Amino acid sequence: MAEFAQSVRAGLSKPQKELHSRYLYDELGSALFEAITHLPEYGLTRADERLLREHAGELADLVPSPGAVIELGSGMGRKTRPILAALRRRDPVRYFPIDVSSEALARCERELSDIAQVHPQQQSYLDGMAAVTEDRCRDQPVLVLFLGSTIGNFERPCAIEFLRDLRSALQPGDSLLLGADLVKERARMLAAYDDPTGVTAAFNLNLLGRVNRELDADFELRNFQHQARWNERERRIEMHIASRVNQTASISGCGVTVQFQTGETIWTESSHKFLPEEMLVLAECSGFSVQAQWVDRQWPFVESLWTAR
Ligand code: AVJ
């Protein structure tokens, strides 16, 4: 059975039903996420872009001139331009965007090929990292970009494990620029994931729509409701899809029927929020040292520049 079908079947058989957040991004889901980044309530992407614009010059002065710039989950490369522009004032830049979406990679290449030599990698993050670092030029340091607080989608122990795996693909002196959304007032965080326009609700419910389309299921989307919760203990926003009624849904593509009680939820995403000092601990226990940190004032968000030890 295909990976998606298998993951859906396993996730919906758990006591707390769940669907993995990576499946939020089909073509419609990616378009809805792009719309989210323009919402007044969702300040995260703008903060990320502001910081990169304002500090790209400093960043370029701090890192050794990289033989390769690797970006994990490049998306369309909108935020990356100022960094590449600052780096190329010294040397021409070879840029390796890694993404699972060929659409995103194509757009990224179109957007950035005027300032860098773009080598798109359509792979998972760590496979892409391995492929690029395997034939790295000797002594040419690497700069890895992991922006947009995508790290927040990992459970904390998995984030550390991921960063360690990343570190083992690197050599001492290589750099990592990590963007992470910080803990802020609860109401602001909740509004960012439950906007009054309903775009985030559409983004979330589209996951059930995708199951209907790709796995021939019969979820009645109107009988489900988007939910955003702040989990204080885990310091994360959780997105859920709650059933408005008692109902069943059949998913032909994975041969299961699923029952829902009124109010029961499917957990679809976690966005962990960080404390500034937490970044130091994360770096420390994954084999990096923090070289610099920049925090946005309007929307607490941090860019943390690390060096591999
Ligand atoms: C792209 C994973 C950083 O967690 O804030 C936006 C995705 N989910 N609104 C995030 C998202 C709901 C976003 N990341």
**Best of 147, 153, 155, 299 for a ligand 1 pocket test (most atoms within 8 Å of beta carbon):** 153
What's the pLDDT score for residue 77?
76
Distance from the alpha carbon of residue 152 to the mean position of ligand 1, in angstroms? 8
Pairing of strands 17-18, 265-272: parallel
Compute the 3-state secondary structure of the chain and give helix, strand, coil in percent, each to the nearest 5: 40, 25, 30
Judged by DSSP in three states, 102 sits in: helix
Judged against a pLDDT cut of 80, whether residue 138 lies above it is answered with no
pLDDT tens for residues 280-298?
999 999 999 999 999 999 9
Query: Residue 58: what are its φ and ψ, rounded to 5°?
Result: -60, -45
- Tell me which residues have their CB closer than 6 angstroms to ligand 1: 36, 44, 148-150, 152-153, 193, 200, 269, 271
pLDDT tens for residues 105-120?
999 999 999 999 999 9
What's the pLDDT score for residue 102?
86
Mean pLDDT of 63-75: 91
Distance from the alpha carbon of residue 174 to the mean position of ligand 1, in angstroms? 27
The answer to whether the CB of 169 falls within 8 A of the CB of 92 is no
Q: Which helix (H) or strand (E) holds 229?
A: strand 224-231
Mean pLDDT of 34-61: 97
pLDDT tens for residues 188-220?
999 999 999 999 999 999 999 999 999 999 999
What is the DSSP-derived secondary structure letter of residue 91?
A: S
pLDDT tens for residues 150-190?
999 999 999 999 999 999 999 999 999 999 999 999 999 99
Q: What would the DSSP string read from start to end of 181-211? A: EBP--HHHHHHHTS-TT-HHHHHHHHHHHHH
Judged by DSSP in three states, 75 sits in: coil
Atom 12 of ligand 1, nearest CA residue: 193
The answer to whether the CB of 115 falls within 8 A of the CB of 86 is no
Contacts with 299 (C-beta within 8 Å, 6 or more apart), sequence order: 43, 44, 46, 47, 184
Mean pLDDT of 232-261: 98
Shortest-distance atom of ligand 1 to CA 271: 4
Query: Which structure tokens are listed for 101?
Result: 């979406």
Distance from the alpha carbon of residue 140 to the mean position of ligand 1, in angstroms? 33
The answer to whether the CB of 290 falls within 8 A of the CB of 256 is no
What's the pLDDT score for residue 139?
78
Distance from the alpha carbon of residue 44 to the mean position of ligand 1, in angstroms? 9
pLDDT band at 101 (very low <50, low <70, confident <90, very high): confident
Distance from the alpha carbon of residue 138 to the mean position of ligand 1, in angstroms? 37
CA distance 138 to 170: 12
The answer to whether the CB of 291 falls within 8 A of the CB of 156 is no
**Best of 269, 273, 274 for a ligand 1 pocket test (most atoms within 8 Å of beta carbon):** 269
pLDDT band at 91 (very low <50, low <70, confident <90, very high): very high
Query: Which structure tokens are listed for 302?
Result: 């941090």
Judged against a pLDDT cut of 90, whether residue 137 lies above it is answered with no
Judged against a pLDDT cut of 90, whether residue 231 lies above it is answered with yes
Mean pLDDT of 2-19: 98
